[in-house]
Chain A
Amino acid sequence: MIKILIEKELKTILLSPKFVAVFSVCSILILLSFYIGIDEYRVALKHYEAVNAQLAQQTREQTSWAAVRLNIVRHPDPMHIFVSGINNDIGRQCPITRGDVIKLYGSRYSDQLLFSIFRSMDFMFIVQVILSLFAILFTYDSICGEREAGTLKLNFANPIPRTSYIISKIVGSWLGLSIPLIIPMLLGLALVLVCRIPMNITHWVQLLIIIGVSVIYFSFFICLGVMFSSITKAPSSSFLYLLVIWIGFVLIIPRAGVMVAGQFISVPTPAEITSKLTQKEREMSEQLDKWQNGRRKELESALASLTNEEQQKKYMEMVDQYNKDLTQKYDELNREIDKYYISLNEEWRNRKSQQETLGFSLSRFSPASAFQLASMDLAGTGVSLKTEYEDQLQIFKDMFNKFRAKKEEETGRSLFTMLNDDKKPKNIDTSDIPEFRFVNRSLSQIMQTTIIDIGILAFYILITIAGTFIAFIRYDVR
């Protein structure tokens, strides 16, 4: 019985004009998003290779390790083709110097503001916004529409269990909407293969899970549509309710959650942190000046009571001591500033983390947010990307600075000696220079965070399926 009902449902959908419209729109958008994604990936790869080649050339031409300046460019990841996430919002480069703080700069959106106005439409966006809307369009009249048309009565004049009917409605609509998703998706993947995008096994698994999560996500909207068409009697009412819910889930709740979190937990801005740091540096500088003045006075009074000869000798000793103490003091104050910066940074991170946790927890009331967060995590373009990148860069910076110091020691050439050397120096050997490689989180690590969102989506589906069954068991088919 279910098979007959599903076949009918599928046939009804496939023969309807809305299927043709949905299939056309989905095909165009999905293929276009893949094409644009591939193109952007290639451009990013070219940029990466060009900058790296230039940097390697510059490094090879250096004659002292002290003059080596690294500029790390983020390597584009093929997963960005499907889910761009925050990839275009965070910086693409980071200079590795002795003193500067690790910070990615030069994001695509800051460099090309036009794209930040109308952001790119990736696969995730298509599923999150467009496919969920289509799921509603497919299902808003699935029960009440049949009732209004009179076919529901004719169907139930036959020995059909209500559960079979409602299952067939859900499954039929699901299959009907899967076609406009799966076919363009397969064509898009063929495009990825033809364009020789270097996807490894992990990438394919990640992509497969993203597709799976997409299917779960639009299944929720299908169940929601069938549920409302089983609650209401007129398709127009069903559509109105669903549209309001869709707006709430897709457009309002995700933003509202983040806004509420922003109101409850304030995170200091970079300007505030810089201001605090400057204040601290000023205090330290004043402290240093005070210390220097004190020492200078001590020095002068000590020298006044001595003879010229003694003065000369003592002066040299005291200046030596003063220089040593000054360096020590200077280092001490610098350490204190560093410590202060670390504490500020730690506080900033903690508050940011608290804000994110609250924001995401509130946003997760919307399946659209759960889907977005899961997809971004799976693609490695979630909010943690920036922090993870900068953390790994920090480790690399420390390692590189040690490497450079060692090399300087080995070669015995500092920036100073290099500037005062008359002989034409040899270029440095850069063959063993460390290379920065960003290590993505492993699949199991990704799944640990993603499983929460998948669970939320599954929970929402269960709720809507239960609601659909309860509503339809009591539905007046007349």
Chain B
Amino acid sequence: MTESINAGTNNTIVLEADKLTKRYEDGVLALDELSFTIKSSEIYAMLGANGAGKTTTINLFLNFIEPTSGEARVMGIVTHKEPLLAKEKLAFVSENVMLYQNFTAIQNLDYFAKLGGKKNYTRDDYRNVLLRVGLQEEAHNKRLKGFSKGMRQKCGIAIAILKDAPAILLDEPTSGLDPKAGYEFIQLLDNLRSEGKSILMSTHDIFRAREIADTVGIMNQGKLVMQAGRDELTDKDLEQLYMKYMAGHMEAAA
């Protein structure tokens, strides 16, 4: 644990992967000594094909699985050693947000906010945050049964916002969203970054990644094959880079 770290201060490391390795019981090496850091007010986009290890990285941060070696840290807390403490500092939005279908949007928010330790929110707070994520007021008290994927995704983001955690993990959050919803989502991430949140986002969407991320990492077969900051990417075409690294590693693997 790094004691010098302070949440909310710029340049403070909030999320850290330190030689993170995961080999499954069937022998598949899903992550191979992955290392990166994400500071506060920073968005890190992980790009990579299916099976590259993006979701495994997120699962390790959430302690859904334990690492074979190495550590995932949230504000210095090693996730597999103190999972409950680490989860207090994390908010998570999955690719396909699934909430309780028989609950209304506000009931879902209320439950997950309380679960995240926030017990003093009022209905107005829930309404405000739902409006902030772009969910229309008439949907607030409707059961989630009839919600589209975009609407559910907005509820998922609202839950993450309400948790007010210093780090947010997003697992392919823009997949399946229409262009307008995707744009609104990127605006929202920008706002969250300006509030000091650290965001780790796994995505296939190269364009959104380049648009919003402070750092982009390309993963292939469990390895971080390229990592570049926003400044480094300005003059380069990320798509070409992505294809180049994918091809290079495929050749190497062959």
Contact = CB atoms under 8 A, between A and B. Distances in A.
Interface of A: 1, 4-5, 8, 11-12, 15-16, 149-151, 153-161, 476-478
A158 B115 contact: yes
B102 A8 contact: no
B115 A478 contact: no
B189 to A, nearest CB: 18
Interface residues of B, number: 32
A155 B115 contact: yes
Given A150-B96, A151-B100, A160 B65 contact: no
Contact of A161 (B84, B92, B100): B84
A478 B65 contact: yes
A156 B64 contact: yes
A149 B98 contact: yes
A160 B87 CA distance: 9
Nearest to B88: A159
B103 interface: yes
A8 B116 CA distance: 14
Interface string B123-138: 0000000000000000
A235 B247 CA distance: 41
A154 B113 CA distance: 12
A153 B64 contact: yes
B112 A154 contact: yes
Given A12-B103, A149-B101, A150-B97, 16 more contacts: A8-B111, A12-B100, A15-B102, A16-B102, A150-B96, A151-B100, A153-B92, A154-B94, A154-B97, A154-B112, A157-B91, A157-B92, A158-B115, A158-B163, A478-B59, A478-B65
Contacts, number: 66
A12 B87 contact: no
Contacts of B115: 1, 4-5, 155, 158, 160
24 contacts: A11-B103, A11-B107, A12-B103, A15-B102, A15-B103, A16-B102, A149-B98, A151-B98, A153-B94, A154-B92, A154-B97, A154-B112, A154-B159, A156-B87, A157-B87, A157-B90, A158-B87, A158-B115, A159-B116, A159-B117, A160-B84, A476-B64, A476-B65, A478-B64
A153 B169 CA distance: 13
A16 to B, nearest CB: 6
Contact of B114 (A4, A12, A15, A149): A4
Nearest to B115: A158
Nearest to B61: A157
A63 to B, nearest CB: 79
B105 interface: no
Contacts of A15: 102-103
Contacts of B14: none
A478 B94 CA distance: 11
A15 to B, nearest CB: 4
Contact of B94 (A5, A150, A158, A476): A150
A143 B97 CA distance: 17
B212 interface: no
Nearest to B114: A4
Which 10 residue pairs are nearest across A and B when measured between Cβ atoms? A150-B98, A157-B92, A15-B102, A159-B84, A159-B87, A158-B115, A4-B114, A159-B88, A149-B98, A478-B64
Contacts of B49: none
Nearest to B87: A159
Contacts of A16: 102
B85 interface: yes
Contacts of A4: 111, 114-115
A387 B114 CA distance: 61
A451 B159 CA distance: 50
A190 B94 CA distance: 51
A155 B84 CA distance: 12
Contacts of B88: 159
B62 interface: yes
Contacts of B91: 157
B99 interface: yes
B146 to A, nearest CB: 15
B201 to A, nearest CB: 15
Given A8-B111, A478-B64, A478-B65, A158 B116 contact: yes
Contacts of A151: 98-100
Nearest to B91: A157
Contacts of A154: 92, 94, 97-99, 112, 156, 159
> Which one of A158, A160, A476 has the highest number of Cβ atoms from chain B below 10 Å of its Cβ?
A158
Contacts of A155: 115
A151 B99 CA distance: 6
Contacts of B117: 159
A161 B115 CA distance: 11
Contacts of B96: 150
B30 to A, nearest CB: 12
Nearest to A152: B98
B118 to A, nearest CB: 10
A159 B79 CA distance: 11
A477 B88 CA distance: 18
A4 B118 CA distance: 12
Nearest to A150: B98
Indicate the member of A4, A11, A12, A154 with the most B CB atoms within 10 Å: A154
A11 B107 CA distance: 10
Contacts of A477: 64
B86 to A, nearest CB: 8
A153 B98 CA distance: 9
Contacts of B111: 4, 8
Contacts of B62: 156-157
Contacts of A5: 115
A147 B101 CA distance: 14
A353 B219 CA distance: 74
